[in-house]
């Protein structure tokens, strides 16, 4: 992991990377003819440690929290990983690959190697065919960094609000590790496809959980959505249920029980 002072701004409000990774990304930007989409780049080790602590507390019997790597194991904290919607597009991925950016988070599911984080790419400088090219715009240091170990488990939870008459009335936290013992949710909550937490404040389903308690939503939003302003979706009842069904289906597909 590296400190903020050893990273550089990659422009377009996209965050920070090591100078070498930033130079590479500028070459990708130039080849794409636009800014590469980046939702998350370098992460502050302190923030990553908070996610890690929450996960460890969960393992000790605390409230559910997603798997999170320690800062020293997270390639985001090394400034050499990006989360990008361009990771879903084979054409863009081919360009990123030539510049040394690769998908790294796979799991074995039913004997097959499945890409479970299409948005997450890490830089492998030794496989960057353009690493000796000059970086366009800005004189960043382009010394290649050592390749890192692939990141194993860094699934991002998503936060969704159900909105009726202009107000949020219920919230969903989605993550493939939630409710692994439960069957896939197909649109109607029953006693066999859900269960209440002991304090009855949260109902758990396969792949997601819901609450009508605003304090719990606020905690989810603080931990996973950078406050309430960046929640993943805010939809009417029908759209909200569709999202829950999709979360449940995706969880069953990518994470075995």
Binding site for Zn ion (CB under 5 A): 83, 120, 154
Q: Which of 9, 103, 3 is nearest to 48 (CA)?
A: 3
Judged by beta carbon, residue 78 or residue 83, the one nearer Zn ion is 83
Least distance CB 240 / Zn ion (angstroms): 26
Least distance CB 67 / Zn ion (angstroms): 12
Least distance CB 192 / Zn ion (angstroms): 35
Closest CB to Zn ion: residue number: 120
Judged by beta carbon, residue 39 or residue 246, the one nearer Zn ion is 39
SS3 sequence of 82-128:
EECHHHHCHHHHHHHHHCCEEECCEEEECCEEEECCCCEEEECHHHC
Judged by beta carbon, residue 103 or residue 120, the one nearer Zn ion is 120
Judged by beta carbon, residue 73 or residue 210, the one nearer Zn ion is 73
Burial letters for 87-114: b for 16+ Cβ neighbours within 10 Å, e otherwise? Answer: beeeebbebbbebbbbbbbeeeeeeeee
Q: What tokens appear for 240 in the block?
A: 């909200």
Query: Cα(143)–Cα(128) distance, rounded to whole angstroms?
Result: 12
Q: 163 forms bridges with which residues in the sheet?
A: 168
Judged by beta carbon, residue 37 or residue 154, the one nearer Zn ion is 154
Least distance CB 184 / Zn ion (angstroms): 26
Residue 207: count of CB within 10 angstroms of its CB: 28
Least distance CB 122 / Zn ion (angstroms): 8
Judged by beta carbon, residue 78 or residue 161, the one nearer Zn ion is 78
Give the rounded distance of the alpha carbon of 38 from its chain centre: 11
Least distance CB 217 / Zn ion (angstroms): 24
Distance between the two ends of the chain, CA-based, in angstroms?
Answer: 32
């Amino acid at each position: 992991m590296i400190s903020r002072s050893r990273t550089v701004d990659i422009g377009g409000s996209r965050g920070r990377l090591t100078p070498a990774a930033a130079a590479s990304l500028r070459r990708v930007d130039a080849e794409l003819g636009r800014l590469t989409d980046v939702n998350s780049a370098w992460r502050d080790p302190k923030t990553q440690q908070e996610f890690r602590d929450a996960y460890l507390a969960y393992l000790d019997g605390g409230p559910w929290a997603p798997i999170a790597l320690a800062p020293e194991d997270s390639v985001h904290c090394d400034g050499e990983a990006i989360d990008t919607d361009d990771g879903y597009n084979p054409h863009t991925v081919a360009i990123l690959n030539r510049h040394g950016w690769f998908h790294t988070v796979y799991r074995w599911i039913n004997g097959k190697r499945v890409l479970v984080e299409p948005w997450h790419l890490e830089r492998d400088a030794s496989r960057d065919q353009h690493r000796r090219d000059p970086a366009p715009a800005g004189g960043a240091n382009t010394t290649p960094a050592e390749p890192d170990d692939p990141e194993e488990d860094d699934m991002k939870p998503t936060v969704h609000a159900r909105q009726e008459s202009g107000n949020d009335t219920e919230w969903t936290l989605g993550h493939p590790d939630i409710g692994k013992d439960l069957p896939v949710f197909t649109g109607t909550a029953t006693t066999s496809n859900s269960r209440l937490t002991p304090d009855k404040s949260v109902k758990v389903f396969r792949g997601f959980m819901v609450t009508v308690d605003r304090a719990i939503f606020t905690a989810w939003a603080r931990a996973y959505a950078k406050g309430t302003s960046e929640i993943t979706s805010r939809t009417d009842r029908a759209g909200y249920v569709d999202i829950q069904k999709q979360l449940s289906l995706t969880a069953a597909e990518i994470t075995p029980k």
